[in-house]
Structure 1
Amino acid sequence: MTQPDYFTRFENLAFDRTDDGVLTMRFHTDGGPATFTGQTHEDLPKALEEIALDADNRALVLTGTGDVFMDSIDGDSLGEIFRPAVWEKIRTEGLAVLQRLLSLPIPVVGVANGPATVHSEYLLLTDIHIASERATYGDFPHPAFGITAGDGLQVVWEEIAGTARAKWLLWTGDTIDAATAERWGVVNEVVEHDQAYARGLELARTLAAKPRLYRSLQKQTLNQKLLRRIVEGVPFGMALEGLTAADLAYQQ
């Protein structure tokens, strides 16, 4: 099995694949824990498209680097998001990421290897979700910046955890630990920290061994409602998020 060129194309995404077709995509910054940037935002939908088109991929493990899934963001790197043309680019990319993650023709195992307080919705959209005992979940950027959480968090957390819990998490900016996330039905398993990735890989290998058509069609069957909610809720939510970003710029 040859290594595709997309394995080395993206600045903040690292790839590795087992001989039996389990691809790992790991968020990182310079080989360490990831800081989410505008470049990550632009590259992620492209990477997911490459993954979908690569017939050698039989399952995907989505995780972070070191002891962090993702807990920091470089807001300035997103550009002048108060400008309509810039925000429309962000809005298009944001919707594409969520749609493509849900529509991958292979099962996805999410591994929260530590704090997931930036784009935790990526983990919630996976087909099986494993958490390290050190994982935490929440929404750091939107409450901190004073920008509406309209880029998918509001839809995914409500769908997975329920309306009251989603409202509490997104209003307060507080976090929950892995045990609470499991109790809320957000996480399938909580494991010892140093076993999280190994457990995710084990599950992904089990799924990868199933027939190709089964893997693809099961993915569609189980994600139909979530995909519909994403398509309905994210374009509107991101339009409102853009308005709050513009309002902040106007006040400065």
Structure 2
Amino acid sequence: MVKRARFSEYKDRYANYRFELSEEGILFMQCHTDGDSLVWDWKAHDDMADAFADVAGDREIKVLIHTGTGANYNANWGLLPDGSMPAEPIYQAMPGSRGQWKLDEKAWYNRNLMFNVLNVDVPVISAVNGPCNIHSEVPLMADIVLASEDAWFQDVAHFPRGQVPGDGQHVIWNFLVGHNRGRYLLLTGKKLGAREALDWGAVAEVHPKDQLLDRAWELAYELAKRPPMVLRYTRQLFTHELKRAFLDQMGQGIGLETYAQREFFPFGGGMEPLDRAWDDKPWSQSR
């Protein structure tokens, strides 16, 4: 459940999320790390859930544009500059009940992230500015999904590494592209290019990278001309079935994923560690 929020309160709250608000009421939300592509670590993960809660609680905005920065939308694992894991890994193995509580906390943030995105009550435009292989459900829950020509989607964080694909991946992909395509993508680690994602119905438009944000703003300005309640109730109408799908399936997916992570931590059970950069050769080299 979100609470009332105002732009002045959250605009400078998050290190990894930059906010701007136009005179027309268009909120621009940009993921980044030090002005470059977002590095996905626990803080970015948890803060994204909280940031979307603030956005969902802001009743003054009329449209949301959500995007990334630099070469990719969300594909950096948080590796050190030499490509190695930090001394204290992002997914740290913790013994006994302490580890289970840590996993439960992250599952809690994960559930909040999904539903806080869906609780944004204004039309959402996602501009996927490059590769996205982590939590692709976030941009795909938008009402209009734009992608740059060099963008691609993939779920390498779960099944290809020996983990249950429960972080909303099992919901969004089957919902958008159908069970057969969705299951195939998740089980094989398929790298879905922007044009193929367009053919599959996962994105609405594909544009050159330098034209992507211009198109997002063009659409946002047009949407913002409508009355505020029309915008809010239309978003509610469009998210109703998706909320139902997440409500029906999210808890089971996260529960099974969390349970299976007793084998996942420490690195084992056939799991591939997060020891490669997003632009290295993927696990499935043929894709």
Task: Give TM class, smaller chain.
Answer: over 0.9
Q: Does 1:153 align with 2:173?
A: no
One-letter code of the match for 2:113? V
- In the alignment of these two chains, the number of paired residues is 251
- Note if contact 1:111-1:131 (Cα within 8 Å) is conserved in structure 2: yes
How far, CA to CA, are the matches of 2:52 and 2:193 in structure 1?
A: 28
Q: Deviations over 1:30-87 (max 9, x none)?
A: 1111111111121112111211222332111111101211112249335447822111
How far, CA to CA, are the matches of 1:23 and 1:187 in structure 2?
A: 21
**What is the deviation of 1:248?**
2.3
How far, CA to CA, are the matches of 1:93 and 1:201 in structure 2?
A: 30
Q: Deviations over 1:91-120 (max 9, x none)?
A: 111111111111211110011111111111
**TM-score, normalized by length of structure 1?**
0.93
Q: Deviations over 1:122-179 (max 9, x none)?
A: 1110010111111111112113532111010111000001111111111111201111
One-letter code of the match for 2:133? T
Partner SS, residue 90 of structure 2: helix
Selected match of 1:200 from 209, 213, 216:
216
How far, CA to CA, are the matches of 1:206 and 1:232 in structure 2?
A: 34
Selected match of 1:67 from 54, 68, 71:
71
- Note if contact 2:56-2:117 (Cα within 8 Å) is conserved in structure 1: no
> RMSD of the TM alignment (CA)?
1.9
1:26 alignment partner in structure 2: 30
Greater share of residues in helix? 1
How has the CA–CA distance of structure 1 residues 51 and 186 changed in structure 2, closer, same or farther, with 3 Å as cutoff? same
- Note if contact 1:146-1:244 (Cα within 8 Å) is conserved in structure 2: no
1:103 alignment partner in structure 2: 119
One-letter code of the match for 2:90? S
Q: Deviations over 1:192-247 (max 9, x none)?
A: 22101111111122112211111111111111111011111111101111122211
2:284 alignment partner in structure 1: none
Q: Does 1:217 align with 2:233?
A: yes
2:44 alignment partner in structure 1: 40
Say which one has the larger Rg. 2
Comparing 135-144 with 230-239, greater Cα deviation is found at 135-144
How far, CA to CA, are the matches of 1:68 and 1:26 in structure 2?
A: 12
Partner SS, residue 35 of structure 1: coil
Comparing 27-36 with 51-60, greater Cα deviation is found at 51-60
How far, CA to CA, are the matches of 2:76 and 2:185 in structure 1?
A: 17
Dislocated runs of 4+, deviation >4 Å:
78-82
Identity %: 29
2:281 alignment partner in structure 1: none
How far, CA to CA, are the matches of 1:250 and 1:17 in structure 2?
A: 43
List runs of 5+ in structure 2 lacking aligned partners. 1-5, 79-84, 269-287
1:227 alignment partner in structure 2: 243
Q: Deviations over 1:3-55 (max 9, x none)?
A: 61312211211112212111111111111111111111211121112112223
1:126 alignment partner in structure 2: 142
